[in-house]
């Protein structure tokens, strides 16, 4: 076991971005990504944190168990309640977001479910902006409602409608930013202010922006959530989720995770820690590729519309330019004068991106939302969600920018 206090940042850990020191400047995000949350001296004198592949942690004698319980000692007992490598990742994520605490889950959906199940009771209400992940909507609409929690949606970025929808029963307001796949950008400071003034908790799913591009906690949001499967892991080789916020609000979430069992494996925690170390470097390329591809697509005659907040034509460009470092690698566009089959032909014609449902990895991915996520919905339902048959979503990886642009040029020029 590490000799450092597992519940506190290890000695030598850089402060979170934005923290001030009278002697040294606050470290940059890449420095934090590499070093935060780790002990300077690790077991076995290893440079990297070891993988603790154990489900059970033993005690020297009966008195040591009593001391552990009564003194709340920072050590492990059973794998469902924590793992040393997992705690390193949680401290690193908290430092990256500027939060007090992070809780790691087996997936982004597990993180959302765990958070909401902790803080919602029968009779409460939750309000989402309507451009949300369809599985998040499904969980709230089909499952939370079975336990007496009301679920409502309002138009994304309509802050007047959001405030008007809040009732005495409202406990949470929730949004992604940017949203997926329309890439609408929420004014997180305004969102947070509404929550504070009305006494409701606020959650931003920041999977698409990462702490490199946006830090919602600094704007006053209560919780920031990530599907760490995406940009944080960054290599399309793990599933994980995390929620970051204050210790007071997240301690009960951690306790419920230990009951529900939505924990990650020691090996996945290791992969996530390794991926986080290159987050800033990868995001620089994701940002550059996303913007370059969006600009190219906007200029192509076969493209009807491009959704990318880095473009001046995007309705939320001004708020993105003011609040975000970059706009990420996700680009959505509509093919002009096409049906769903002609749109699928474009998807099938690209050579670099692989067809798949995720995003945020080093490899580019492409999908047609109609086919990948909404095939079993009616046309009216898809229209209500803003999913045209001609929509294509591209998750730019870190390939050479010129190669990606050339690949989409040949795919579109075939028609």
Over residues 9-26, the pLDDT tens digits come to: 433 343 433 444 446 688
Of 279, 265, 217, which is closest to residue 30 (Cα–Cα)?
279
* CATH code of the domain covering residue 293: 3.90.1150.10
Last residue of a domain, one of 221, 240, 275: 275
Whether residue 396 has pLDDT greater than 60: yes
On the question of pLDDT at 130 being above 60, the answer is yes
Show the DSSP H helices in 11-158 as ranges: 29-35, 62-70, 84-97, 108-119, 134-138
**Average pLDDT over all residues of the chain:** 93
Amino acid 26: pLDDT: 87
Number of domains the chain contains: 2
Per-residue pLDDT tens over the stretch 344-373: 999 999 999 999 999 999 999 999 999 998
Asked whether residue 216 falls in the same domain as residue 201, the answer is yes
Clarify whether 133 is annotated catalytic.
Answer: yes
Asked if residue 268 and residue 333 are part of one domain, the reply reads no
Instruction: Give the Cα separation of 32 and 16 in Å (integer).
Output: 7
Residues in the chain: 415
pLDDT tens-digit map of 141-171? 999 999 999 999 999 999 999 999 999 999 9
Residue 323 shares a structural domain with residue 289: yes
Kindly state the percentage of the chain with pLDDT values over 90: 91
Q: Is the domain of 300 the same as that of 267?
A: no
Active site residue: 87, 92, 171, 230, which one?
230
Greater confidence, 26 or 324?
324
DSSP 50: P
Q: Average pLDDT for residues 225-238, to the nearest whole number?
A: 98
What is the Cα–Cα distance from 2 to 177, expressed in whole angstroms? 37
**At 248, which CATH number?**
3.40.640.10
Which pLDDT band holds residue 7 (cuts at 50, 70, 90)? very low
CA atoms within 13 A on the CB side of 270: 9
Do both 197 and 228 map to the same domain? Answer: yes
Q: What is the pLDDT of residue 125?
A: 98
Q: So what's the pLDDT on residue 415?
A: 65
pTM: 0.91
- Residue 114 pLDDT exceeds 60: yes
pLDDT higher than 60, residue 220: yes
Predicted pLDDT at 23: 64
Report the distance separating Cα 91 and Cα 99, nearest Å.
Answer: 9
106 contact partners, CB below 8 Å, separation of at least 6? 239, 240, 241, 262, 263, 264
User: Which residue in the list 87, 92, 133, 374 is annotated as catalytic?
Assistant: 133
Residues 180, 184, 188, CA angle at the centre, nearest 5°? 110
Buried residues in 165-204 as b, exposed as e (16+ CB within 10 A) = ebeeebbbbbbbbbbbbbbbbbbbbebbebbeeeebbbbb
What is the sign, positive or negative, of the torsion defined by CA atoms of 124, 130, 136, 140?
positive
Mean pLDDT of 189-208: 98
Q: What is the pLDDT of residue 25?
A: 80
For residue 184, which phi and psi values (nearest 5 degrees)? Answer: -75, 145
Catalytic residue among 205, 222, 389, 407: 205
Instruction: Compute the distance between CA of residue 221 and CA of residue 195 in angstroms, rounded to an integer.
Output: 8
CA distance 70 to 265: 28
Domain boundary among 241, 258, 275: 275
CA distance 372 to 395: 14
Output phi, psi for 78, to 5 deg.
-150, 145
Residue 130 domain-assigned (yes or no): yes
- Say if residue 147 is in the same domain as residue 202: yes
What whole-number distance in Å separates Cα of residue 220 and Cα of residue 171?
Answer: 16
Handedness of CA 224, 309, 26, 268 (dihedral sign): positive
Q: Does residue 4 carry a pLDDT above 90? A: no
Strand partners, 151: 126
Do 207 and 227 lie in one domain? The reply is yes
Phi, psi of 314 (to 5 degrees): -75, 135
Residue 45 lies in a domain: no
Is 80 one of the annotated active-site residues of the chain? yes
Lowest mean pLDDT among 3-12, 175-184, 329-338: 3-12
Q: How many CA atoms lie within 13 A of 336 on its CB side?
A: 13
Query: Has residue 117 got a pLDDT over 70?
Result: yes
* Parent domain of 151: 97-275
Question: What is the pLDDT, as a whole number, of residue 18?
Answer: 40
User: Stretch 200-225: mean pLDDT, rounded?
Assistant: 98
Catalytic residue among 75, 80, 285, 295: 80
Confidence band of 414 (pLDDT split at 50, 70, 90): confident
Told to judge if 282 belongs to the known catalytic residues of this protein, a careful annotator would answer no
Q: How far is CA 271 from CA 28, 85, 141, in A?
A: 22, 10, 33
211 and 133 within one domain: yes
User: Which pLDDT value is given to residue 288?
Assistant: 98
Q: Are 250 and 7 in contact (CB under 8 A)?
A: no
Domain boundary among 260, 275, 290: 275
């Amino acid at each position: 076991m590490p000799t450092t206090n597992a519940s506190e940042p290890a000695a030598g850990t850089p402060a979170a971005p934005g923290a001030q020191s009278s002697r040294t400047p606050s470290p940059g995000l890449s420095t934090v990504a590499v070093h935060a949350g780790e002990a300077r001296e690790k077991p076995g004198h290893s440079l990297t944190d070891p993988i603790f592949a154990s489900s059970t942690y033993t005690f020297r004698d009966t008195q040591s168990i009593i001391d552990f319980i009564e003194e709340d000692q920072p050590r492990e007992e059973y794998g469902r309640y924590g793992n040393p490598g997992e705690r390193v990742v949680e401290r690193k994520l908290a430092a990256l977001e500027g939060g007090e605490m992070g809780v790691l889950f087996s997936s982004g959906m597990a993180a959302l479910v765990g958070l909401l199940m902790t803080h919602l009771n029968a009779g409460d209400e939750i309000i989402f902006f309507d451009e949300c992940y369809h599985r998040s909507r499904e969980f709230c609409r089909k499952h939370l409602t079975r336990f007496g929690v009301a679920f409502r949606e309002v138009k994304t970025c309509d802050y007047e409608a959001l405030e008007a929808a809040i009732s005495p029963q409202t406990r949470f307001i929730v949004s992604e930013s940017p949203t997926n796949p329309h890439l609408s950008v929420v004014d997180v400071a305004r969102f947070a202010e509404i929550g504070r003034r009305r006494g409701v908790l606020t959650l931003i799913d920041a999977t698409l922006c990462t702490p490199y591009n946006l830090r919602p906690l600094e704007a006053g949001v209560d919780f920031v959530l990530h599907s760490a499967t995406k940009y944080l892991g960054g290599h399309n080789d793990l599933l994980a989720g995390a929620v970051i916020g204050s210790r007071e609000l997240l301690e009960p979430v951690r306790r419920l995770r230990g009951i529900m069992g939505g924990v990650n494996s020691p090996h996945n925690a290791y992969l996530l820690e390794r991926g986080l170390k290159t987050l800033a470097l990868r995001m620089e390329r994701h940002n550059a590729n996303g913007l370059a591809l969006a600009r190219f697509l906007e200029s192509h005659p076969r493209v009807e519309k491009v959704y990318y907040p880095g473009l001046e034509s995007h309705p939320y460009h001004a708020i993105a330019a003011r609040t975000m470092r970059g706009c990420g690698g996700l680009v959505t566009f509509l093919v002009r004068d096409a049906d769903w089959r002609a749109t699928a032909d474009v998807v099938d014609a690209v050579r670099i991106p692989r067809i798949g449902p995720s995003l945020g990895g080093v490899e580019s991915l492409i999908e047609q939302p109609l086919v990948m996520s909404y095939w079993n919905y009616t046309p009216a339902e898809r229209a209500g969600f803003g999913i045209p048959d001609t929509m294509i979503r591209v998750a730019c990886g870190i390939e050479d920018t010129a190669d990606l642009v050339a690949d989409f040029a040949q795919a579109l020029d075939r028609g």
